[in-house]
DNA sequence: ATTCTGACAGCAA
DNA sequence: TTTGCTGCCAGAA
């Protein structure tokens, strides 16, 4: 099955998926937090990139729980409809206004702190 | 092989 | 204060 194309366990991406899937219900985190947890440090962009390809993953990635450090739903447009991400988060008890999470710090979930 | 982009973050002016 | 530029790493053209 063309495993030749498969990288070595997706290394970086697999970690991003794992952490993202570990985000508890009603919790949210930031790209930088995940990137920092992965050890990539400031390459938070890669986290977003990984989530971008997360659609290729058969597993459901709660990418809607991942936002930028400002709590802004930057990638909402990637959920099909711009309102999908907002609906999902609100469904989990996250308060969103103007595509921004109001209780961001309250429900913030730090992988490096929670998972460790 | 080189160049550009990308769901960010940090720092400078 | 706000605005904008650079830096980060990895993948696609």
CB of A75 nearer than 7 A to strand B: yes
Neighbour-count burial for A65-86, b at 16+ CB within 10 Å, e otherwise: bbbeeebbbebbebbeeeeebb
pTM of the model: 0.88
pLDDT tens-digit series, residues A28-55: 999 999 999 988 878 899 999 999 989 8
Does residue A114 or residue A110 have the better pLDDT?
Answer: A110
Q: What are phi and psi of A7, to 5 degrees?
A: -75, -175
Domain ranges of chain A: 3-110
pLDDT tens-digit series, residues A52-69: 989 888 889 999 999 999
Question: With bands split at pLDDT 50, 70 and 90, how would you rate the model's confidence at A6?
Answer: very low
Question: Which of A's residues 72-111 have CB atoms within 7 A of nucleic strand C?
Answer: none
User: What CATH number belongs to A3-110?
Assistant: 1.10.10.10
């Amino acid at each position: 099955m063309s495993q030749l194309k498969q990288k070595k366990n997706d290394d970086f991406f697999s970690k991003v998926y794992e952490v993202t899937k570990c985000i508890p219900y009603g919790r949210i985190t930031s790209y930088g937090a995940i990137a920092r947890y992965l050890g990539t440090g400031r390459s938070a962009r890669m986290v977003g990139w990984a989530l971008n390809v997360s659609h290729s993953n058969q597993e459901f990635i709660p990418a809607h729980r991942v936002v930028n450090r400002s709590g802004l739903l930057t990638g909402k447009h990637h959920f099909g409809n711009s309102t999908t991400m907002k609906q999902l988060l609100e469904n989990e008890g996250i308060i969103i206004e103007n595509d921004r999470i109001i209780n961001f710090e309250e429900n913030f979930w730090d992988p490096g702190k929670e998972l460790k």
